[in-house]
Amino acid sequence: MGGILLQALLKNNLLSPELTCATVQHEERAKLLGRKLDVKVGTDNAAAVKGADIILIAVKPQIVQEVLREIRGQVTPGQLIVSVAASVPTSVMESCLPENIPVIRAMPNTPCSVGSGMTAMCKGKCADAGHLAITCQIFDVVGRTVVVDEKYMDAVTGLSASGPAYIYIILESLAEAGVKVGLPRDIATLLAAQTTLGAARVVLETGDHPALLKDAVTTPAGCTIDGIMELEEGKLRVTLIKAVVRATQRAKELAF
């Protein structure tokens, strides 16, 4: 996710290559990434944050506290820390840092790679509306943003961050169904993908409830109602709900 965001911000001129520094764990990876993105890439986290305006933490939840302790001696209240690590509360991050450091917790998803991501964010006790505005500006480059209370962030992870995987399974299944009824695989995949994209755009652009939009497609005694009956008998609705609930539960466990 760090790489996705870095490339998008550089591409859209929100970051200047000469003023950007990234870190990775291994020296060889640092060299490869530096050549690819034309930015300074190293392995020293503490050195990288010196003088930075914004510090983006994009590591696994289990090592967030370790990284924050590495940089705490170099961090000042004039800097903003933005974490995209799942499950780690702002209070935990703040406990690893000096006092009065603004922290924003963000949860993007992988469609950020094509500018169609969804990012939810919340602020820590020392961050303010200005810090949220800066962070929204960053993530607006790669999709849509929403500000939520921190108590909702694990649910965001279970729904939005994990959600693309659920959609890919649905999309793959629709394409396989197309093959089953005689369509060439490439055409079936195109039909499934564009239909998924189009349905999502209708929800976003009209603001109508999905149930109302479903009813508009479902004509009396038509084809769609028969298909919906099969979905209901297969408990697709309940299965998707259970998937989000389970992923949310797992998100609560990840950092500890």
DSSP 28-43: HHHHHHHHHHTSEEES
Instruction: Express each pLDDT in 89-144 by its tens digit.
Output: 999 999 999 999 999 999 999 999 899 999 999 999 999 999 999 999 999 999 99
So what's the pLDDT on residue 1? 85
Which whole number is the average pLDDT over 50-59?
95
pTM, entire model:
0.92
Query: What is the DSSP-derived secondary structure letter of residue 160?
Result: I
d(CA 193, CA 207): 21
Question: Is the model's pLDDT at 256 over the cut of 70?
Answer: no
Q: For residue 127, is it left (φ>0), alpha (ψ between -120 and 50) or beta?
A: beta
Show the domains of the chain with their CATH numbers.
2-156 (3.40.50.720), 163-253 (1.10.3730.10)
pLDDT bracket for residue 41 (50, 70, 90): very high
In the three-class reduction of DSSP (H, G, I as helix; E, B as strand; rest coil), residue 79 is classed as coil
